[in-house]
Amino acid sequence: MQALQGLKVLELGQLIAGPFAARTLADFGADVIKVEPGGTGDPLRRWRLLRNGTSVWWEVQSRNKRSVCLDLRTPAGQDVVRALAAEADILIENFKPGTLEGWGLGWDALHAANPGLIMLRISGYGQTGPDRDKPGFGVLGEAMGGLRHLSGEPGRVPVRVGVSIGDSLAALHGVIGVLTALRHREVNGGQGQVVDVALYEAVFNVMESLLPEYDAFGTVRQASGSALPGISPTNAYPCNDGQYVLVAGNGDSIFRRLMHAIDRPDLADDPDLVHNEGRVRRCDEIDAAIGAWTVQRSRSEVQAVLDAAAVPAGRIYNVADIAADPQYRARGMIVDVTAGDGQPLKVPGIVPKLSTTPGTIAHAAPSLGQHDAELKAASPGRWPARRG
């Protein structure tokens, strides 16, 4: 038994945010039916690196799902979606606001037919507000949410994180909203409801003290490279083998252990550096002291000393490091599967870890329209003869 076993999810979205949310639910047992346009399918099938004509990213994003081909712009396709939505617990979509309404598949229509339906709607700017009708992608949400301004080195062009973090944050907020709405429906006797997630709001929600610091002090936080402003010491420090070590010595007791480990008892015992606010005022001096010590040693030597002193430290991983790391394997975060093309493939494991009802990768990502016949046979009376 899995935690979400028995839940029926209808996925109408494509690419990243909506499908990521649906995949997370599928990993924990929900039955996800993914609706794709015939012929081409979800564009993600051909994004980034392809093997045997299909993106290996697709194997991650669409695992544990079933695929059906429908043209949502046609009455026949819309009829099928209505039939599927009438039996679903959750519907996930990430079209521009108003798109489903234009097809007769908006919230009011689907809710009237299925009062318990929960609809997750992910869009660039949300379902309301002056920007609702603007097209929005994750990169724009990252910028509007404040993340892009803080990324990179001071005085240089702001850079993006190397993955679609805005879409992923929106998806995870969507899952939180869906599970909250399910709790209300099942425990409080409530009906279904809309979960409205805007990409920029999902990013803004993780921006910590950005807004209150501006409101209280007029501070506009700026990019700071590898450091974290207002918290000291935490930075990347050079080693003599050309590598860097990340050190997070910002806890008061951790700082003392760190200073003793690098042979700077004078800083460990300095009363001005007992707490973070004092260390922030002298962060350049502290960073220089740590860097002077690390640059005389290899990264592995630094790691060994700081591990012995119980100081949080680590290296900067690339994917080869990840694939070789025993911690990843021990935690089931690198899983060997057979992909849709019949070939072996390593894919990320499931997060979070549940002790009693863990998630599982039950089957590979589907081929385009793989489950058309199966779904039609399961409910022939509700599946219109006319197909899009």
What's the rounded Cα separation, in Å, for the pair 103 and 115? 20
Contacts of 187 (CB under 8 A, 6+ apart): none
Q: Nearest CA to 312 among 259, 234, 215?
A: 234
Distances (CA, A) of 220 to 204, 213, 214, 232: 15, 8, 6, 19
Q: Which residue has the tokens 């979205």?
A: 13
* CA–centroid distance for 259 within its chain: 36
What's the rounded Cα separation, in Å, for the pair 264 and 234? 17
Catalytic annotation on 372? no
What's the rounded Cα separation, in Å, for the pair 268 and 248? 15
Report which DSSP code applies to 364.
P
Determine how many CB atoms are found less than 10 A away from the CB of residue 129.
11
Torsion of CA 63, 89, 134, 203, to 10 degrees: -70
- Catalytic residue (choose from 31, 167, 196, 287): 167
Catalytic residues: 167
